[in-house]
Amino acid sequence: MSQVLHPIEQKILKTLAEKKNLTPEELAGITKLSLDQIRRGIEWLKFKNLASVTESEKTVVTLGKRGSEALQKGLPERQLVNHLKSLDGYSCELDSAKNYLKNEFGPAIANAKKNGWIEIHENRIMLKGYHDVTSEEKIIKIISKIPTGVSADEFEDKDALESLKKRPEFVALSSKKSVLVGLTEQGLEMSKTVPVEIDFTNISETGSDSEVKVARAIDVQASAPPVFAARSHPLRDVIDEVREIFVGLGFSEIIGDNVQSSFWNFDALFTPQDHPAREMQDTFYLKDLTAGTVAKPDQIKKISQEHKKGWNYEWQSQEAKRLVLRTHTTCVTIRALADQKYDEARLFSIGRVFRNEKLSYKHLAEFHQVEGVVTGKNVTLRNLMGLQTEFYHKMGIKKIKFWPTFFPYTEPSLQSMIYNEKLGKWVELFGMGMFRPEVTKPLGIKNPVLAWGGGIERIAMLKFGLEDVRDLYENKFGWLRSVPKCP
Partner 1 sequence: MPVVTLYFDRINKILGKKIPKTKIVDTLPFIGLDIEEETDDHINVEYSPNRPDYSTDYGIITGLQGLLEIKLGMPKLKIKTGKNMIKADVSVSKVRPYVTAIEARNGILNDETIRQIITMQEDLHNGLGRRRKKVSIGIHDLDKIKFPLRYTIMAKNHSFVPLESDVSMTVTEILEKTETGKKYGNILAGKDKVPIIIDSAGNTVSFPPIINGKFTEMNNKARNLLVEVTATDKNAAEGVLAVLANALQMAGFQLFSVKITGANNSTASLKPRDLILESDLVNKTLGINISDSLMIKSLKKSRLDAKMKGKKIVCTIPRYRTDIFGVMDLVEEIALGYGIQNLVPTMPESVSAGQRNDITKSLETIRSLMVGLGYTEVMNFELTGKEILYEKTSRDSSKMISVADSKSQEHIILRDLLLPGMMEVLSRNVHESYPQKIFEIGTVFEKNSSIREVIHLACLDAHKDANFTEVKSTLQSLLKTGFNLSCDTIPQKEPMFVDGRTGSIIVSGKKLGTIGEVDHTIADNFKLRTSVSGFEMKLTGLIFD
Site for partner 1 in 214-243 (CB under 8 A): 228, 230-233, 235-236, 240, 243
Of 47, 200, 313, 361, the one binding partner 1 (CB under 8 A) is 313
Cα 372 to Cα 330, 331, 339, 354, 457: the distances in Å are 9, 12, 17, 18, 17
Q: How many residues bind partner 1 (CB under 8 A)?
A: 88
| Residue span binding partner 1 (CB under 8 A) among the ranges 78-86, 120-128, 177-185, 403-411 | 403-411
Alpha-carbon dihedral angle through residues 267, 268, 271, 274, given to the nearest 10 degrees: 10
Site for partner 1 in 422-461 (CB under 8 A): 428, 434, 436-438, 448
Residues 189-218 that bind partner 1 (CB under 8 A): none
- Considering only 23, 135, 163, 383, the residue that binds partner 1 (CB under 8 A) is 383
292 lines the binding site for partner 1 (CB under 8 A): yes
Rounded to the nearest 10 degrees, what angle do helices 24-31 and 7-19 cross at?
110
The footprint of partner 1 on residues 407-426 (CB under 8 A) is 408, 411-414
**Residue 316 lies near partner 1 (rule: CB under 8 A):** no
What is the spatial distance between Cα 199 and Cα 217, in angstroms, rounded to a whole number?
12
The answer to whether residue 406 forms part of the interface with partner 1 (CB under 8 A) is yes
Q: With beta carbons less than 8 A apart as the criterion, state whether 55 and 177 touch.
A: yes
> Which C-beta is closer to partner 1: that of 65 or that of 309?
309
Compare residues 404 and 484 and give the one whose CB is closer to partner 1: 404
Does 359 engage in binding with partner 1 (CB under 8 A)?
A: yes
User: Is 263 a binder of partner 1 (CB under 8 A)?
Assistant: no
Task: Kindly report the backbone phi and psi dihedral angles of residue 399, in degrees, each rounded to the nearest multiple of 5, phi listed first.
Answer: -95, 115
Stretch that binds partner 1, among 10-18, 68-76, 94-102, 351-359 (CB under 8 A): 351-359
Q: Which residues contact 371 (CB under 8 A, 6 or more apart)?
A: 328, 329, 330, 332, 333, 348, 349, 451, 452, 453
The correct pick among 110, 126, 218, 289 for binding partner 1 (CB under 8 A) is 289
Q: What is each CA distance from 145 to 63, 138, 382, in whole angstroms? A: 10, 11, 93
Q: Give the nearer residue to partner 1 in terms of CB position, either 12 or 434.
A: 434
Nearer to partner 1, 45 or 397 (CB): 397
Nearer to partner 1, 283 or 299 (CB): 283
Q: Give the nearer residue to partner 1 in terms of CB position, either 48 or 278.
A: 278
- Out of 98, 135, 366, 483, name the contact with partner 1 by CB under 8 A: 366
Query: For residues 454 and 193, what is the distance between their CA atoms, to the nearest angstrom?
Result: 65
* Distant-in-sequence, close-in-space partners of 260: CB < 8 Å, separation ≥ 6: 323, 324, 325, 326, 331
CA 389 to chain centre: 37
The helix (H) or strand (E) run that includes residue 33 is none
Alpha-carbon span 226 to 23, nearest angstrom: 29
Query: Restricting to residues 459-478, which ones interact with partner 1 according to CB under 8 A?
Result: 472-478
Helix axes of 105-114 and 76-85: crossing angle, nearest 10 degrees: 80
Near partner 1 by CB under 8 A: residue from 129, 168, 396, 404: 404
- Choosing from 94, 173, 385, 395, the residue that interacts with partner 1 (CB under 8 A) is 385
Least distance CB 467 / partner 1 (angstroms): 19
Residues 6-41: b if buried by 16+ CB within 10 A, e if exposed: bbbbbbbbbbbbeeeebebeebbebbebeeebbbbb
Q: Which is nearer to partner 1, 117 or 251 (CB)?
A: 251
Stretch of 28-36, 146-154, 203-211, 353-361 contacting partner 1, by CB under 8 A: 353-361
Q: Does the footprint of partner 1 cover residue 302 (CB under 8 A)?
A: no
